[in-house]
């Protein structure tokens, strides 16, 4: 079947992610995470917020690495209005470390 030369892209598709790092970060780190909500408790910090695309997500992960933080988990938040493209289960992108 011919699609008329149009290809579906994921530009502008936003997904809400929950990223957990080891250590309780102070609010002075907030600018590094581009407005994501930060919640520190129990020796961990949870960052929650919209990520506009994969390069944006990789940039956040690069900052985590650059700050010497240990990534505990990364997951797309189910039930958010922006969801995953192509109907992929949102929990399928979960990575847990350590």
pLDDT at 76 over 80: yes
- Alpha-carbon distance 75 to 89, whole Å? 11
User: Tokens representing 65?
Assistant: 């690495």
Is 70:22 a contact under the CB 8 Å cutoff?
yes
pLDDT digits (tens, 9 = 90+) for 4-62: 443 333 455 789 999 999 999 999 999 999 889 999 999 999 999 999 999 999 999 99
- Alpha-carbon distance 23 to 71, whole Å? 10
Architecture of domain 15-96: 2-Layer Sandwich (3.30)
- Please name every residue paired with 46 in a beta bridge, in sequence order, or none if there are none: 20, 39
Residue 8, C-beta contacts closer than 8 angstroms, at least 6 positions apart? none
pLDDT at 84 over 50: no
Tokens 């961990």, residue located: 44
What is the domain partition of the chain in residue ranges?
15-96
Overall pTM surpassing 0.75 (yes/no): no
**What is the average per-residue pLDDT within 77-98?**
51
pLDDT higher at 65 or 87: 65
């Amino acid at each position: 079947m011919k699609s008329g030369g149009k290809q579906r892209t994921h530009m502008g598709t936003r997904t809400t992610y929950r990223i957990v790092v080891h250590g309780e970060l102070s609010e002075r780190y907030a600018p590094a995470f581009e407005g994501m909500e930060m919640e520190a408790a129990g020796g961990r910090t949870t960052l929650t917020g919209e990520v506009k695309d994969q390069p944006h997500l990789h940039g956040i992960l690069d900052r985590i690495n650059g700050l010497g933080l240990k990534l505990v988990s990364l997951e797309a938040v189910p039930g958010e209005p922006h969801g995953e493209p192509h109907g992929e289960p949102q929990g399928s992108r979960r990575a847990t470390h350590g």
